[in-house]
Structure 1
């Protein structure tokens, strides 16, 4: 049985700093302090934690800061346990395997102005974007951060608050401002992004529903609930390189079917929002249910944690 190995990079925890209430900032470095694989602003990495959990976090440092990966982790007491493990068990000099960075924000090309809207710890990918824009002499951006009382990651925010690029909205005092008024109209050269709680994302999606999709970036904390299709039918899943096939039954995920074949596919959110389980497809017609792939990416890739098949047979490049 052929197993596809998951590519991970060995890192060690160089520093752990406080980032605010229930937030810790972990700096991960190569054991010999070599440069790490490059990443785009706001890219994600998977942390392969001791005991098996895999959790996805946004990188919040400047991509030019290429000898470390900086992640900020909020302790989620009612979460799946990854953040609690990081807060309570991980120490400086511990070893953590991480995935190659993926995803991130498009900040180049014809884009001349950026507006980011974040809620609490959702500021992390936009901190990386802000550092990148400043480093590359593109100061025309505004980051609106919503926080109740003291904002998270104040030390990382400070340089951008000082230049006026970051505006902090204390929602405990004045409530949350109207998202539509913050992002404005879809003028040429303007791109917008949002990461935060579901209610904020809903407002952001309504405010940008008429925008060109390539100029709107959304990141989610929690996967949206999948609608169960009562008409879904079983299908054959074939793996081109492995020469394996299996039947994906009604109610079974493509990811579970691959695991049953011994194919080691990285997975974290299992809800189509983190991008860790992206696989290329070759034949058939996928049913895409993710919230992370662009229309162009869907022409060749799918997310196996949530994708299905509209036909009797689907062939993957595995």
Structure 2
């Protein structure tokens, strides 16, 4: 899946028109242009960066119907065990506030050519899949959305999902995954030309990934909200220092063993925007011209990795990495 920016303009300053309690611990935020102008278009699976507070930026999926040009809707689960972003959204953002957001970006887009689409949502992971369901319904596609949650009161967007009719299936486990959807059984026999999309918390993601490992290449798509615990790099040279060269100026930046490439570039005065620092959002994606890269991101496909890297988590395996900056 390619990562695309869907609008070329700079940051948007949007008005919070509505804050709605959608489910236990989940608020939905409706963002609009203050003067009522149409918003830049987006496609299902896209997300925006939300500037929650000075120095605090978080990524949230757009969960409304992509056909809507008058609003963006995000939904945020308050996570008391998180890094503080969701708590800040719940505590700081109020109706009539102005909020700076990025243009929509999409690294979880619907692929073409599917005869049928299966959407698997775990908890707040329903947000990008809900937008996909709207697009699929508008296209008259054959699809099903399975929404896994603890209990009915934990499931968001009840009225909007009800409008999708028999495409939506709920699975409530009461807090014990063993009582929920049999993911392994459901994905045991992939049907021809069927594509799978899934999103949710870590355990859910692992269950879906394990259950779909045998599906045909290119038919399984996922988006992580948090970076999984990654195994140690198998590229031994990735632990050594190297030089990152800026192609446009010839500037050489020394990156020490274990040092973050993005931070090394920024410390050398190279303009580079970062956000998630986890290889999840694509904000810092840059093209490289030569060098071997140890990719540690979760958004670039193999084709993109031949030309691009995310310096917040990726680094060179050799002595020199030339960046198209």
Question: Would the TM-score normalized by the shorter structure come out above 0.5?
Answer: yes
Q: How does 1:1-318 map to 2 (within 5 A)?
A: 7-138=10-141, 140-150=142-152, 151-160=155-164, 163-172=165-174, 175-229=179-233, 231=237, 232-241=239-248, 243-318=250-325
- Determine helix, strand or coil for the equivalent of 1:222: coil
Secondary structure of the 2:86 match is helix
**Contact map agreement 2:108 2:223 (CA 8 A) in 1:** no
Q: Describe the SS at the equivalent of 2:258.
A: coil
Ranges in structure 2 where 5+ consecutive residues have no aligned partner: 1-8
Q: 1:69 to 1:148 in 2, by over 3 A?
A: same
Shift of 1:283: 1.4
3-state DSSP of counterpart to 2:66: coil
* 3-state SS of paired residue (2:132): helix
Bigger mean CA offset, 78-87 vs 178-187: 178-187
Q: Could you list the runs of 5+ residues in structure 1 that have no partner in the other structure?
A: 1-5
Superimposed CA distance per residue, residues 152-201 of structure 1 (whole angstroms, 9 cap, x where no aligned partner): 232332212xx111100011187122213323533332100111122221
Secondary structure of the residue aligned to 2:163 is helix
- 3-state SS in 1 of match to 2:159: helix
Q: Secondary structure of 2:195's match?
A: strand
SS of 1:281's partner is: strand
Number of aligned positions between the proteins: 310
SS at match of 1:250: coil
Contact 1:43 1:105 in 2 (8 A): yes
Question: For 1:18, what is the secondary structure of its paired residue?
Answer: strand
Deviations 1:253-278 (A, max 9, x none): 11111221233433333122222221
RMSD of equivalent CA atoms: 2.0
How far does residue 228 in structure 1 lie from its aligned partner after superposition? 4.5
**1:117-147 superposed Cα distances (whole Å, 9 cap, x missing partner):** 1111110000000011112222x11111111
CA contact (8 A) 2:45 2:109 kept: no
- Residue range with higher mean Cα deviation, 72-81 or 266-275: 266-275
